[in-house]
Amino acid sequence: MQLARLLHAQGFGTRRECEGLVLAGHVRIAGRTCDDPFEEVAPAGLVLTVRGADWPVHEKALILLHKPAGCECSQKPRHHPSVLSLLPAPLRTRGVQPVGRLDEDTTGLLLLTDDGALIHRWTSPKQHLPKVYEVTTKHPVDDAQLAKLRGGVVLDDDPAPVRAAACEATGTYTLRLTLTEGRYHQVKRMVAATGNRVEALHRSGFGALRLPADLAAGQWRWLSGPEAVAGVPG
């Protein structure tokens, strides 16, 4: 693929802007400054250096973000900054979007990609992907509440009981809840149906993926290789 075309596909601007990046000497490969926008390069495994910053080439972007509180999972946020503002401009330019949503006050594991087919597989109700939440409650967690969450609680928009796939107390005011379906404010509404209230909510797992302990709030990382495959439903 021609270098300027590859830069364009990675989100570094229009074709002409990418040609200008190369002609201005802002693109390097393996320490070599490239000055020909039409140079043929092999994308597989390639790491570009653009304006001094390394950029691994990915045909499709697959991102794991530690979402902080105070961000909306929307391309057009209404009250808070978008989670997309935490990503570099090339990822925003190429159309990366969140896989599902977390409330603005919910923290934790959020996946983003520009692969539409992957978004469909990840969000399809047929997949029953487990999502793990760490919940802090207003009142102490007791066995009766846990039993209700496991056995099923009724929400105000559906007479069919909603059950947790797994549920356990992790402290006096904390519990770990695993869900395999997604509804509006589901965790908060389920906990409220037991007579308690969610004070803080954090997603620690999505499918086979877990939020890395060394990834601070607001930070992100590429998913690739076996780790990416582990997180993708068949």
Hey, how many other C-beta atoms are within 10 angstroms of the C-beta on 120?
A: 11
Q: Could you give the CA distance from residue 234 to residue 224 in angstroms, rounded to a whole number?
A: 16
Non-local CB neighbours of 101 within 8 Å, separated by 6+ positions: 73, 74
Rounded to the nearest angstrom, the gap between the alpha carbon of residue 52 and the centroid of all alpha carbons in its chain is 26
In terms of Cβ atoms closer than 10 Å to its own Cβ (0-12, 13-18, 19+), residue 58 is buried
User: Buried (b) or exposed (e) across 176-204, using 16+ Cβ within 10 A?
Assistant: bbebeeeeeebbbbbbebbebebeebbbb
Q: Counting every residue, how long is the chain?
A: 234
Which residues are known catalytic residues? 103
